[in-house]
Structure 1
Amino acid sequence: MIFLYGPLRHLPLAETLLAEALPGAQEAVLPGYALLQSEGYPALQPDPQAAVEGLLLEPGPAALARLEAYLEGLDLSPAQAVLRLPDGSEREAALWSRPPSGPGAQPFSRAQWLADDAPRALREAAELAGHAPPLEPALQRRQAVMRSGRAEAGLRAARETAPATCRLSPPAGAFALGHAEPLTGGFFKYDRMVAAHRRFDGGREEGLLREVFVGVDAALVLPWDRARDRVLLVEQFRTGPARRGDPNPWCLEPVAGIVDPGEEPAEAARREALEEARLTLTGLELMFHSYASPGNSTDHYYCYLGHADLPDDDSYSGGLAEEAEDLRLHVLPLDEAVALIGTGEINVTPTIAMLLWLQRHRDTAAG
């Protein structure tokens, strides 16, 4: 028997993670412990006056193996404990735990977790359960930030408005997605899917095999010095053009980076400007947000104009050494940068779109 407490006490989360229905799960209590907030997963703290509520269940072998890998990936250790059931009887079961990370930890609030974190946790659990081969604990830890970022990207997409003055305003059931194969990949994910959607002639397309590159949302910033009408561009080696066979895979781009879990896109934009270009922005203005390649990728870019006092140097180095960033930063007049679009030297679509946006709006851009 297994005792699940904290977030995994939420039955939909446990069933999603284990990829198995758990109709036999029953309520149980672990006496003599309190549940405290802790990094990664709530911690059990001995407390003779407290008790921790949870679920007692008996998963099948495949579900148990998945659960053990997940809990080991959170650095939890197995132990045996005696539980109290609602009828007053006792039952011994296995649980996974670790001590609190430090003094002053606050009690774990299930209500707060359900309100703030459950939707993201359910998406993360679905990714883990759908992965093949199943991820070893070390890989689960290594991919945790990106997994959480993908979950938050999906929630962010669901919250945003979807204007439809020209395009279709889809009714309920206008499209559906399923998995043709288990999820694969590392830092990014590859999803082979079966799609169905409504046709413009009123019919329905079924059984479409589609392959999707699953990334995370990113924040892009074009730093601009209004007083001198100069912009900053980042030059770096890119494997995409190199893999395609481009003889010059060094690209000119905006400052850019992923939106970290728990971060808003605007916060990511300011952080990346400081990390990549050592710029503290004096203002930030959303240009637009858009999909980079909607036919085969989830990548969604939040593109900002960053107001800044740019350095006098025409070029200087930037980036974080710990992230192996080898960046050369160029400061040049806006019109000169736009001219590089025509020569083909700027060949990255977000850079082109953001420069043209600024060229159009520079007289009215907020400072």
Structure 2
Amino acid sequence: MSDAPVRLSTLAHGGGCGCKLDPAVLRRLLADQPAAGPFERLLVGNETADDAAVWELEDGTCLIATTDFFTPMVDDAFDFGRIAATNAISDVYAMGGRPLLALAILGMPVGRIAPETVAEILKGGASLCAEAGIPVAGGHSIDTPEPIYGLAVIGTCRRGEVRRNADARPGDALILTKPLGVGVYSAAIKREILPEGGYADFIATTTRLNRIGPDLARDPAVHAMTDVTGFGVLGHGLELARGAGLTLEIAADALPLLPAAEALVRDGAVTGASHRNWAAFGEAVDLPEGFPDWRRHLLTDPQTSGGLLVSCEAEAAGGILARIREAGFAQAALIGRTAAGPARVRIA
């Protein structure tokens, strides 16, 4: 193996949540799979494309289980580990739970990456788990053609605090807790066109734990939550719409963006996943006449370790938004509402 440093992002065909399977392909793969039930204690399975599985224990405590892993979207090994860990833990927060422990998932191209680099990835993941107050209690590793890292995470909550993506109600307000543009920044990192200060903004949002989730779940005015990751705000919004059987109305001008996201996407910093997401979800989306392509790409931009999409009572939305911002999510914003109607997303 050469002593020359290897850019992690060049060893993967895609990076972060942008390397998810094409959503259209995923739907075909899952179409003929058996349902998870009938298990009385399985409160959330694979029926609504939710963020994690939820199993009720005998005392009303619920066990939340999830796994998430991907290939690098950055070249710094420690940062890659931090981002992947933040992203995996987010699934527990999105269900309304608090994480308990994690298991590491590691695949590395042996002979192409120095052991010291792999150790830095693991250290980065462990540092974020420590920030979340949980241990990395074990894991599994294999030799793979591309670098892969992530976590399986276990968490808990009370039954009344479980928040599915399918429980939104007509007339709810929609809040997004983090800015969009992570996929755009990832593409810019790979092309080495990220502006000064851009990397710091990128790391700040992708390593911010969505720990506000369980606090929101204790509020009865919060009806549903999901985290926005590889399918973009459009794809995960549509999953919420389909699960709840209603229409999402999103105001494009209200969507929070990373500072350079608009300029970068206009410059062509678009991921392949953004195109795949539109091909998979576009038929269920109503766009205004003349809606520009660059704005559409931001709707389908894959968000690695993105924010929570929160559906809550409209009357309580202002107070809930203020609490989210006070918790450190400065760009959290009201982005639209839900309405009775077909399972579609309407962009205004």
- Scaled by the length of structure 2, the TM-score of the pair is 0.25
Question: With CA pairs under 8 Å and 6+ residues apart, which has the higher RCO, 1 or 2?
Answer: 2
- Higher helix proportion, which one? 2
- Scaled by the length of structure 1, the TM-score of the pair is 0.24
Determine which structure has more spread, i.e. the larger CA radius of gyration: 1
